[in-house]
Structure 1
Amino acid sequence: MSSLPFDVAAGSVLGREHARAGRNNQDAWCVRASEHGLVAVVADGCGSQPCSELGAQLGVRRVVQAALTRLAEDERVDEAGFLPGLREDVLCLLSELRGELGRDTLGDFLFTVVGAVMTPSHTLVFSAGDGLWALNGEVHSLGPFPNNAPPYLAYALSRGEEDTPLVRQALVPTEDVHALLLGTDGVADLAKLADVVMPSGDERVGPLSRLWTEPRYFENPDALRRRLAMLNRESVRADFEARRLVRTPGLLPDDTTLVVLRRRMGRA
């Protein structure tokens, strides 16, 4: 496993509107490490496709697998060819899988990507489509795109489009990374809720920075998922004077998924 001095927290929650429509969570995340480095990716499947959660789950694993393979082959993330090569690797893997499944799966493979490849020397943040990322407290939103149509990587499998690249968002020395967050577009909604009261109780949601400054999210591997679940849990209370039930809906309309990496205290 990687010796990089970072702790990881991750979680995902089904969006309120997807739950109402009886749909699955179409987001996914994957984090893996090797002796060569660490790769973290989140993905959001295209909402108009019936099985886009399949593409998101396969997509994050394919991207992570391909990136770790490149690191094992001594590829450097600071080289200009790393992301184009990673894109081709992922498209080849998806194309092979498409043939093995024996049906038209292109729609299933439409997913956005926000990811990071971290080595002892450099950390690369990249994306394809919308989402959000934050480095050392500085938050960056990706999208929205015209007509709510992100440039999905898998368009290249049918349209031969070359304008669906993996885009470099940041390349920094790893020694300068203290906290890194990768999120799907649902995290943009979460970022706007700092002063909003939780559905149950009087606690406010708080800023995104809580997710990388509070130790609890890194001490318990399920803490971040549970926090997201609490944010999206409908609250029902009795108003005895009005003789009625008052329902407070969950706060996150869209599927929300994030990975947070934080440098361990006392480690350079």
Structure 2
Amino acid sequence: MAWHVCAAAAIGRSHVDGGLPCQDAFARTCEGEVLIAVVCDGAGSQPRSHEGAQALSADVVASIAARVRDGAIAPSATLEAMTACGRDAIAAARAALAVRATEEGAALAHFAATLVGVVADRDGGWFFHVGDGVGAALDEAGACTVSLPENGEYANETFFVTGDEWEAHLRVCPIVGPVATVLLMSDGAMPFAMAKDLASPYRAFFDPVVRYLASVDAESGSQALLGTLSDPRTDTITSDDKTLLVA
């Protein structure tokens, strides 16, 4: 069954107040029945992290999509193959960003961003993850596989693709199908989109959103999702940028 993908990124109140751009970004595509998607969250402390998030998400999705198209990787691949594919795609995107930074007289760290991505069909797949944010996959009964955020010593610390130790923090989480719904989100969406224990989506938010998105086309659904994420009521929950992808 084809994927119906809706996604949006909304600027957070703290970014509006501070004159900063939205530093989240996402990219997604489908190769036949395979979904490839990435959400990146740029570091608030870095001046060009929004550019890093945009470049990393787009490049990683394009790289993995090409491998899926060529038959080099599939959602049913082994953990070893999954890990190698995610690592190679991220490494190539990171290297391209490093070249850009050098050419423009910037530090690679200026483009710092986290990354959570998915490659899946309806029979299963895998999440790949560096830093915070969440990936979740649910079956029709609501059973959930979650790729959890990784933070540092403190809750507001995390790890970035641009960091020297990024490979040590690359995590791959297999998804056992059947898969009804896939979610990717930045940490700004987590407080209202995930249950407090992060074991599953927050059903009071998730269920009506998914029902509505299924009733409209992807473009209309993405616009509606942007409206939900931009609702001023979310500012009482989080001041951060908020990105949510629902497939």
Q: TM-score range by the shorter chain?
A: 0.7 to 0.9
Of Structure 1 and Structure 2, the greater helix share is in 2
The Cα shift of 1:29 comes to 0.8
When the two structures are superposed, what TM-score results if normalisation uses the length of structure 2?
A: 0.80
Query: Alignment partner of 1:224: what SS?
Result: helix
Partner of 2:2: 5
The Cα shift of 1:257 comes to 0.0
Quote the Cα distance in structure 2 between the aligned partners of 1:216 and 1:258. Answer: 15
Quote the Cα distance in structure 2 between the aligned partners of 1:215 and 1:36. Answer: 19
Partner of 1:246: none
Partner of 2:89: 89
Which structure 2 residues correspond to residues 206-245 of structure 1 after superposition, within 5 A?
A: 206-215=204-213, 218-219=216-217, 220=220, 221-231=222-232
Checking the alignment, whether the CA contact within 8 Å between 1:14 and 1:255 is kept in structure 2 is yes
Structure 1 position 171 matched with structure 2 position 178: no
Selected match of 1:76 from 69, 74, 85: 74
Partner of 2:199: none
The Cα shift of 1:128 comes to 1.1
Quote the Cα distance in structure 1 between the aligned partners of 2:115 and 2:89. Answer: 15
Quote the Cα distance in structure 2 between the aligned partners of 1:183 and 1:162. Answer: 21
The Cα shift of 1:13 comes to 0.8
Alpha-carbon distance change, 100 to 16 in structure 1, aligned in 2, over 3 angstroms: closer
The Cα shift of 1:36 comes to 6.6
Letter in 1 for 2:229: L
When the two structures are superposed, what TM-score results if normalisation uses the length of structure 1?
A: 0.74
The Cα shift of 1:144 comes to 3.5
Query: Alignment partner of 1:40: what SS?
Result: strand
Structure 2: gaps spanning 5 or more residues = 197-202
Which structure 2 residues correspond to residues 152-191 of structure 1 after superposition, within 5 A?
A: 152-155=160-163, 159=164, 162-165=167-170, 167-173=171-177, 176-191=178-193
Structure 1: gaps spanning 5 or more residues = 195-204, 234-248, 262-268
Letter in 2 for 1:254: D
Letter in 2 for 1:257: T
> Rg larger in 1 or in 2?
1
Query: Alignment partner of 2:39: what SS?
Result: strand
Query: Alignment partner of 1:92: what SS?
Result: helix
Alpha-carbon distance change, 94 to 168 in structure 1, aligned in 2, over 3 angstroms: closer
Selected match of 2:244 from 258, 261, 265: 258
Letter in 2 for 1:45: G
Partner of 2:52: 55
Partner of 2:18: 21
Of Structure 1 and Structure 2, the greater strand share is in 1
Query: Alignment partner of 2:231: what SS?
Result: helix
Checking the alignment, whether the CA contact within 8 Å between 1:53 and 1:108 is kept in structure 2 is no
Query: Alignment partner of 1:112: what SS?
Result: strand
Checking the alignment, whether the CA contact within 8 Å between 2:9 and 2:244 is kept in structure 1 is yes
Runs of 4+ in 1 over 4 A off after TM superposition: none
Checking the alignment, whether the CA contact within 8 Å between 1:132 and 1:187 is kept in structure 2 is no
Checking the alignment, whether the CA contact within 8 Å between 2:119 and 2:126 is kept in structure 1 is yes
* Equivalenced residues, count: 227
Quote the Cα distance in structure 1 between the aligned partners of 2:19 and 2:204. Answer: 29
Alpha-carbon distance change, 193 to 93 in structure 1, aligned in 2, over 3 angstroms: closer
Letter in 1 for 2:244: L
Identity among equivalent pairs (%): 25
